[in-house]
Amino acid sequence: MIRIIKRGIELILDQERALYIPYYQLLVISDFHLGKSGHFRKEGLQIPRQVSETDITRLDHLVAMYNPKTLLVTGDMFHHHHNMDLEEFRIWRIENKTLEIILVKGNHDKLASIFYEQLAIKLFSIYYEIGDFCFVHEQKDAPDHGKYIFSGHIHPGILLKGPARQRLKLPCFVFDDNTALLPAFSLFTGLYLIQAKTGQEVFAITANRVTAVATF
Amino acid sequence: MKKTMGYQHVLKWLKTSKRKPFPFQEKTWESYLQGYSGVVNAPTGFGKTYSVFLAPIIAYLNEEHGQSKKKKKLGLRMIWITPLRSLAKDLARAMEETLLELNIDWTVGVRNGDTSVSDRQKQKRAMPQVLLITPESLHLLLAQKNTDHLFDDLTCIVADEWHELLGTKRGVLVELALSRIKGIIRSRTDRTLRIWGISATIGNLEEALEVLQPDHMVPKIIVKADAEKKIRIQSIIPDTIEMLPWAGHLGIKLADKLIPIIKKSKTTLVFTNTRSQAEIWFQHLLKIHPDFAGQMAIHHGSIDFELRNWIEDALHTGILKVVICTSSLDLGVDFKPVDTVVQVGSPKGVARFLQRAGRSGHSPFETSKIYFMPTHALELLEVAAIKTAAKTQQIERREPFILPFDVLIQYLVTLAVGDGFDDKIVFDEVKNTFAFSELLAEEFAWCMQFITQGGNSLQAYPEFHKVVLDEEDGLWKVTSRQIAMRHRLHIGTIVSDAMLKVKFLTGGYIGMIEEYFVSKLKPGDRFNLAGRSLEFVMVRDMLVLVRRSNHKKTITPSWMGGRLPLSSNLGAILRKKYSQVLTENHEEEELTVIKPLFELQESITHVPLEHEFLVELIKTKEGYHLFAYPFEGRLVHEVMAALVAYRISKLMPITFSIAMNDYGFELLSDQEIPMDDAIVYEVFSPDNLSEDINASINGTEMAKRKFRDIACISGLVFQGYPGKYLKNKQIQSSSSLFFDVFESYDSKNLLLRQAYDENFHYQLEEPRLLRALQRIQQSTIVLKSAERFTPFSFPIKVDSMRESMSSEELEARIERMKAEVFKNLD
């Protein structure tokens, strides 16, 4: 993991594609896409169940490790409609009753509100603010009042080129002075390759660590 | 046969136009009437089509003759499978004409992606007697409901251009469709179906027949025309041979010599190896000879369908003087006005070269004329090699696909979308095909679980309902309309790259370019497509919008793929030619012209004899180079280079960069390469091959690339139609994601295994690599040192620099390198 400071507050970048803010005891993930594999199966596409199980297990480890007060999901927590994968999450939720869960709604979150109530998930439709930080799903939806903006949605990835035509695509965090892009939490998601610009810091996520790849 | 009424009728018809059957045609008819299946092999223009088409007609006339009373209307009698849609249209016209003249009231139907819905409906109510169909549409036919009765009158299935389908997954589609149709017929009557293929000459005709008709009980025959097609191969020889040939010139330096050839011919086809090369040639010819404007066209796979149709029609009518094309015109109907063919650059294989030559001079007694335009001097030897191969009939084999599980999975779902299938019956049918003769019962069971339960038996998913058992009739079916529709849309095995259509702002499509290329364009950038200079405006709704540009300076898009490696057959003959240049007295023009170049090679290092293998160690300012020349094609060289590099690095820590072309490869290091007569045999040893390959290259990454097609064909990734928006956004995914998922959670997945197998056979070409290393091991390895590049090494060196340098830098640097080579030589 890597620690950086933004607006005077420490952020921890975890290799499990999560962000932890100790000061607020806040664990942030984006683009969970729970139920995506189940949705694929319903449509006749063969995805092993372990895909969603692994995502839930990873979340479980993160919660055990940081012991946060709040879990914040910046959009696309649930992939589409209800399916079996979501039932596994329900079981996990019951085992983690005391955790507060906040969801800033994303374009995929289309379930009926009763469902969120049952899982005790607090909904924020556009953004959620705490201190100097503002969390949105898509960066364009952020209000313009000088806060530091965290967003998800695009599943950022970076292409690293090595000698002998080696190419490696990795998910990443991208920071600049006023905004941050969060990687998609779910392993069953694709990557949108970003072109790093001047003033950005990019942190690539490999199998077992987070590394700063370049400061532009 | 000769006494039969059918034969007499056909003979009379031929006589009216002063023709008589060739012996091979009579042989085919005779065999057909005796119940044979078979493959017909004859040069173009000799009436291969008639040899097979008229056989069932003679049989029909004979039957009719024997029957007095009128029976019910005849259904589908003959299925004619063609690899190309464009072929079907013209073939149907010719067949209809023949039937009319023979006074037979059959109809001919065409069925492919272009067939309208109303025509399909009409065909469903009343099948034509002859149906021309692509392999994909044949599967679509099986995906319809109530198809069993369609085949009640069927007596014959023909696979046209079978050599083209044989080595592809489309060929497997044909095998599977035939197995089902045979099964349906067997379950309803006791007729046996006759299956005939039409094939150009390939190295494994017997096997081609085995694949097409694997049934042991059926009598089978190969009918070869004894007529020989005359082919004249002429090299375009440069006035001066550049003493240091560098590859990739694109050949335009010799373009002047092409003008008189085009002028004196009626219509010329100029074949290039890549689409971008075709674009460049088109522009260049127009520049040096503006009079060709209006008489010249460009034809390749990325040009809009309508435009291509227009060009093909124009070729028929003879209004075009010259067409620059790629393999897109390798196949297809004969264009009568074409009397000259030009091949630019290495054709990479004997069969392909001869096929292209055959595009000119169609009628039986005409001579096909083909000119070979080398893009660098060493390629002249390739044409000499091809001439020899053509004489001795050393033509490449087409290796049929074995156990492609992706195609099997798609096929099973196809059947489930149609009338449903009984897994026991279909297993036996599939097992009887050539492609799946080694299929194990448990592998088939895995495929069944994959489509019925979504994985292996240990993890059944209640929400997975792709293919389900109908309890009433015991057949496996697809019940979801949505899944059925999606499946029908993606039947087939051709997986295209992500391509975007190019359209004028004012309307009108031009062609397609790769998404990757588009992503690098900025508004205002100019590029070439379909011989036009275009200015990029924007991308909207998956369309690349452009306007005409008058600027001269443009870039040419590069299209991925299409770079075939040199065939191993041609490589072997080429090695022999190389050894002959200096040693033998020969009359071949190409060998004489190239002699000074080989003398230079011999004076610096060595020209290998047939039993020798040359390894050059060259020290330059750049570092230490190792060059080797196996002549096994680019793919094999890539792996061999990595292998040799790995083995040397085990002797001492050393880093290499690698370069290769179809003739050889280069290892470059900043340290001296440890090498002597003993080590060289060790590093080129066939021992421990698999282990060392695994250690030297990233097989997983390569298999992942192969998995892309497999995921599409097996239905894991839905592509949609090119240029159309995908509606099912929430089930979109990339094949690499599936690959990772299966790697982590389902390592026994057969599709995953297939990706590794395909990588092994088609990318690494490990069997070919093994044979090459065994050959090298048995030869005398000649190790030579030098302090300058040689004529052999120069093209490889230049090719490796091309990737990292702009063209100006490159030219300047090559000139410097040339000067170095000649220094102190005299």
Q: Where is pLDDT greater, at B283 or A49? A: B283
pLDDT of residue B723: 43
Chains A & B: contacts with CB separation below 8 Å: 70
CA distance B378 to B792: 8
Contact between residue B46 and residue B225 where contact means Cβ atoms under 8 Å apart:
yes
- Across the range B481-509, mean pLDDT stands at 83
pLDDT in tens, B523-556: 888 888 888 889 999 887 678 899 998 877 777 7
Q: What is the CATH number of the domain that holds A79?
A: 3.60.21
Contact between residue B233 and residue B357 where contact means Cβ atoms under 8 Å apart:
yes
pLDDT of residue B407: 97
Q: Which of B429-438, B538-547, B627-636 has the highest mean pLDDT?
A: B429-438
CB contact under 8 A, B737 and A79: no
Sheet holding A121-124, edge to edge: A2-6, A9-14, A18-21, A26-29, A70-73, A100-104, A121-124
pLDDT of residue B658: 85
Q: How much is the mean pLDDT over chain A? A: 88
Give the residue on A whose Cα is nearest the Cα of B457: A48
- Across the range A35-49, mean pLDDT stands at 84
Tell me the helices (H) and strands (E) count for chain B, helix number first.
Answer: 30, 25
CB contact under 8 A, B461 and A80: no
Contact between residue B624 and residue B670 where contact means Cβ atoms under 8 Å apart:
yes
Domain B24-56+67-224 in CATH: superfamily?
Answer: P-loop containing nucleotide triphosphate hydrolases (3.40.50.300)
Q: Among the listed ranges A39-43, A153-157, B387-391, B497-501, which one has the minimum average pLDDT value?
A: B497-501
Give the residue on A whose Cα is nearest the Cα of B747: A48
Q: Who among B459, B462, B731 is closest to A40 (CB)? A: B731
pLDDT in tens, A54-93: 899 999 999 999 999 999 999 899 887 777 778 889 999 9
CA distance B673 to B677: 13
Contact between residue B615 and residue B783 where contact means Cβ atoms under 8 Å apart:
yes
Count of CB atoms within 10 A of residue A25's CB?
13
Contact between residue B367 and residue B361 where contact means Cβ atoms under 8 Å apart:
yes
CATH of range B230-392; options 1.10.3470.10, 3.40.50.300, 3.20.20.540, 1.10.510.10: 3.40.50.300
- Rounded to whole angstroms, the maximal C-alpha distance in chain B is 95
pLDDT band at A213 (very low <50, low <70, confident <90, very high): confident
Which positions 68-127 of A are in contact with B (Cβ < 8 Å)? 79-80, 83-84, 108
Cα dihedral B682, B683, B684, B690 sign: positive
pLDDT of residue A164: 44
pLDDT in tens, B163-199: 989 989 999 999 999 999 999 999 888 777 999 999 9
pTM: 0.84
pLDDT at B8 over 80: yes
Region of B683 (left: φ > 0; alpha: ψ -120 to 50; beta: rest) is alpha
Q: What is the distance, to the nearest Å, from the Cα of residue B11 to the centroid of all Cα atoms in its chain? A: 38
Number of domains in chain A: 1
CB contact under 8 A, A47 and B454: yes
pLDDT at B560 over 60: no
pLDDT of residue B520: 72
CB contact under 8 A, B741 and A49: no
Find chain A residues with C-beta within 8 A of B737's C-beta.
Answer: 188-190
pLDDT band at B722 (very low <50, low <70, confident <90, very high): very low
pLDDT at B727 over 50: no
Contact between residue A106 and residue A33 where contact means Cβ atoms under 8 Å apart:
no
pLDDT at A181 over 50: yes
Place of tokens 């004859």: B42
What percent of chain B has pLDDT above 70?
Answer: 90
pLDDT at A161 over 80: no
| C-alpha distance from A94 to closest chain B C-alpha (Å) | 23
pLDDT band at A112 (very low <50, low <70, confident <90, very high): confident
Burial label, A33 (beta-carbon count in 10 A; 0-12, 13-18, 19+)? buried
What percent of chain A has pLDDT above 70?
Answer: 95
pLDDT of residue A69: 96
- Across the range A150-172, mean pLDDT stands at 79
Q: What is the distance, to the nearest Å, from the Cα of residue B46 to the centroid of all Cα atoms in its chain? A: 24
Question: What are the DSSP calls for B41-73, one per residue?
Answer: E--TTS-HHHHHHHHHHHHHHHHHHH--S--SP
pLDDT of residue B826: 42
CA distance A200 to A175: 6
Q: What is the distance, to the nearest Å, from the Cα of residue A22 to the centroid of all Cα atoms in its chain? A: 17
pLDDT of residue B460: 62
CB contact under 8 A, B461 and A50: no
Q: Who among A39, A51, A190 is closest to B734 (CB)? A: A190
Find chain B residues with C-beta within 8 A of A50's C-beta.
Answer: 744-745
**Dihedral over alpha carbons B338, B340, B345, B347 (to 10 degrees):** 70
CB contact under 8 A, A44 and B483: yes
pLDDT band at B326 (very low <50, low <70, confident <90, very high): confident
Read off the tokens for B181. 């149709």
Q: Who among A36, A49, A189 is closest to B461 (CB)? A: A49
Give the residue on B whose Cα is nearest the Cα of A53: B745
| C-alpha distance from B322 to closest chain A C-alpha (Å) | 39
pLDDT of residue B724: 47
- In this complex, is the C-beta atom of A6 within 8 Å of any C-beta atom belonging to chain B? no
Write down the ipTM of this complex. Answer: 0.80
In SS3 terms, chain A reads as: CEEEEECCEEEEEECCCEEEEHHHCEEEEECCCECHHHHHHHCCCCCCCHHHHHHHHHHHHHHHHHCCCEEEECCCCECCCCCHHHHHHHHHHHHCCCCEEEEECCCCCCCCHHHHHHCCEEEECCEEEECCEEEECCHHHCCCCCCEEEECCCCEEEEEEECCCEEEEEEEEEECCCEEECCECCCCCCCEECCCCCCCEEEEECCCCEEEEEEC
Instruction: Supply the range of the domain harboring residue A46.
Output: 2-215
Give the residue on B whose Cα is nearest the Cα of A41: B464
pLDDT of residue A24: 96
pLDDT of residue A29: 96
CA distance B22 to B467: 51
With b meaning 16 or more CB within 10 Å and e meaning fewer, what string describes B254-267? bbeebeebbeebeb
Q: How much is the mean pLDDT over chain B? A: 86
Read off the tokens for B220. 């089978």
CB contact under 8 A, B455 and A48: yes
pLDDT in tens, B764-815: 888 899 999 999 999 999 999 999 999 899 888 877 665 544 455 656 666 6
CA distance B807 to B290: 26
